[in-house]
Structure 1
Amino acid sequence: MMTHQPYQSLTLARHRAHMLSQIRQFFQDKEVLEVTTPILSNAGNTDVFIDSVAASFHRFGKRVAGHLHTSPEFAMKRLLAAWQVPMYQLCQVFRDHEKGARHNIEFTMLEWYRPHFSLEDLADELCELISLVLQKDIKFQRLSYSDSFIPLGIHPFVSSIDGMRQCALAHGITLDMGDDRQGWLDLLFSHLIEPKLGMDAPTLITDYPPATAALAKTAYDEAGHLVAKRFELYIHGIEIANAYDELADGAELLARFEADNAERARLGRTIMPIDTHLIHACDALPPCSGIALGVDRLFMVRHALDDIKYAIAITTDIA
């Protein structure tokens, strides 16, 4: 039987290997520890709209249900609580049902944590890394989540669901999110705002609704709205990275995970086993900021690729 040829060329594979080497050297120069954590876990991601890949295994002759990680976050935070040092990881992660020009079920993530870094400190370091990888001096534009909706005449913390529904219909979007307020915001953002972000310069979106950032601290913005201490980086309409001022409160984290599972149950989705190791370690986390970056997507930007399949040697569909 003939094997499907990889979409990625040898030339692009060499460029990708060089980019990964640059990333590792960047962190080595800053004395950030490279770590390796398990891909297979007993627990799963409770995020309502992320699907973990199930993977069963055997322990002492008994079959155990597990999951492939959707990010190395939970295990890395356990190391961070124990070791209290800056660390990073380059690894494969898995999210089920992800397929498209910017998605593959298995993809490469860069994740790093910086104790005693503010989100502003982390944004500066991210800018330094992006400048290195793209081989030019970069300056980020900044835009709050609320201000990104201004062209639509919507305020994400004030506008009614009916107002959002009318906005969607006016732009030809007929999906109905019912009474799911965040669902409407996600719909409008993904269809009408996200594709236009980061066209002139890489753009940081800040101050998200708390419902969008389960593992971030919250604070009140200047207008008195409760927001998540989080930013996302967009380049050429592509989401590249997602950063949090990390929550370090085990009881609060457990409450958020349980609320996620309650919502999953309401929607008829699988209830996910909670990582109790993380819950116990969370209270020992140092004040820190953390970030996850899509390596394949950054490589797409670097080489002006229009499909993620050219950034990955062998994609899930031909594996």
Structure 2
Amino acid sequence: MNYQPQQSLQLAQQRAKMLAQIRQFFTNKSILEVNTPILSNAGNTDTFIDSVSANFHQAGKAVTGYLHTSPEFAMKRLLATWQVPIYQLCQVFRDNERGSRHNIEFTMLEWYRPNFDLDALADELGELIGIIFDKKIQFKRLTYKESFASLGIHPFTSSIDELQQCASSHDIMLDMGDDRQGWLDLLFSHLIEPNLGKDLPTLLTDYPPATAALAKTVHDDDGHLVAKRFELYIDGLEIANAYDELADGKELLARFHADNAERSKLGRPIMPIDLNLIHACDNLPACSGIALGIDRLFMVSQKLTDIKHAIAITTDHA
């Protein structure tokens, strides 16, 4: 058995420097650092994210809880009451994730900016990335629709048959049946995502609403309903995910129930809904929020090809 960490001391020192730079960045902007529970009574209803369950006892009663997949729900409860900009650096957990870009436990930076739109948040993200990379950062901007243009696909109007034919023509033989968004996700992950951010860090915007459960929606110039969301890609890696946050508890509850219905259809466990978030949601200030993967950011900043070198000890060696 090899007890040694996968990460070198030199990389650990570089990572510590990056974390210190991040904290100083937010201190300089008077953004409050917060800590919220890792263990929750509610889980994530997202159809394709698996929460890690945890058994514990409360008042002598056996309880099943969940390790958070993101600090978002609890942070929004703070935001609804305190109404000030906040950030958090913490460990998060997603089950069944392991590979050169994934680990079950990873580090997330999340922050919320009242009265910021997505453009202002993108500018702030650019400032932070520029500090980490020690150079001025210019983002390339691309809409979700534009990213499919090279495939001859329009993600909002192409038929399932057209999506299936495109997959087959690129030797992708998986069958997503009548799941239209599933076909789009398949084409995106295999043919588009690996090439994003190869020249410049790229902000992808205007996603289908089905891909952004907690974001507001608007109609684009062509009349298609899109989510007010962007993702940052660097060298083919998704680094950050931002929303113009939905502040409508009734709508959010409906989306969570729809998620659970889809989970049931796919044979996935139904997740307890965070009713504390639902009650807090109506008091959220107008704001944008963003989650950033620290380990992946460190990977691209150090030109690492495997996440095991960005994390001191990965889950399979813990």
| TM-score for both structures, normalised by structure 2 | 1.00
In 2, the alpha carbon distance for the partners of 1:136 and 1:315 equals: 30
Find the counterpart in structure 2 of residue 186 from structure 1. Answer: 185
Residue 266 of structure 1 aligns with which residue?
A: 265
- Residue 130 of structure 2 is matched in structure 1 by 131
Q: Which residue of 1 aligns with 2:58?
A: 59
The aligned counterpart of 1:142 is 141
Matched, 1:9 2:13: no
Q: Could you say which residue in structure 2 is the equivalent of 1:225?
A: 224
Deviation at 1:4, TM superposition (A): 2.6
1:242 aligned residue: 241
SS of equivalent residue, structure 1 residue 301? helix
- Hey, what does 1:72 align to over in structure 2? 71
Q: Which residue pairs with 1:283 in the alignment? A: 282
Q: Mapping of 1:197-236 within 5 angstroms?
A: 197-236=196-235
Alignment map for 1:292-311 (pairs within 5 Å): 292-311=291-310
RMSD: 0.5
Give 1:5 shift: 1.3
State the alpha-carbon separation in 2 of the partners of residues 3 and 225 from structure 1.
Answer: 54
Gapped regions of structure 2 (runs ≥ 5): none
SS at match of 2:111: strand
Structure 1 stretches of 4+ with a deviation exceeding 2 A read none
* One-letter code aligned to 2:42: A
> What's the TM-score once normalised by structure 1's chain length?
0.99
Give CA deviations for 1:118-144 in whole Å, capped at 9, x if unaligned.
Answer: 000000000000000011111000000
2:18 aligned partner, one-letter code: M
Distance 2:127 2:53 in 1: 37
Distance 1:17 1:80 in 2: 28
State whether structure 2 residue 23 is matched by structure 1 residue 24. yes
CA distance in 1: counterparts of 2:216 and 2:13, whole angstroms: 40
Q: How far 1:3 moved relative to its partner?
A: 4.3
Q: State how 1:95-106 maps to structure 2 within 5 Å.
A: 95-106=94-105
Q: How many pairs were matched up? A: 318
Q: Does residue 158 of structure 2 align to residue 177 of structure 1?
A: no
The alpha carbon displacement at 1:265 in A equals 0.5
Q: What is the CA deviation profile of residues 26-65 of structure 1, one whole-angstrom value per residue up to 9, with x for unaligned ones?
A: 0000000000000000000000000000001111101011
Measure the CA separation in 2 of the matches of 1:39 and 1:293.
17
Unaligned 5+ runs, structure 1: none
- Paired amino acid for 1:40: L
Residues 245-279 of structure 1: CA distance to partner in whole angstroms, max 9, x if unpaired?
00000000000000000000111100000000000
Residue 73 of structure 1 aligns to which amino acid in structure 2? Answer: E
What secondary structure is seen at the aligned counterpart in 2 of 1:66? strand
Code of the residue aligned with 2:40 in structure 1: it is S
In the alignment, the residues of structure 1 paired with residue 3 and residue 180 of structure 2 have an alpha-carbon distance, to the nearest angstrom, of 44
Q: Report SS of the residue matched to 2:175.
A: coil
The alignment partner of 1:222 has SS state of: coil
Q: Percent identity?
A: 75
Residue 37 of structure 1 aligns to which amino acid in structure 2?
A: T
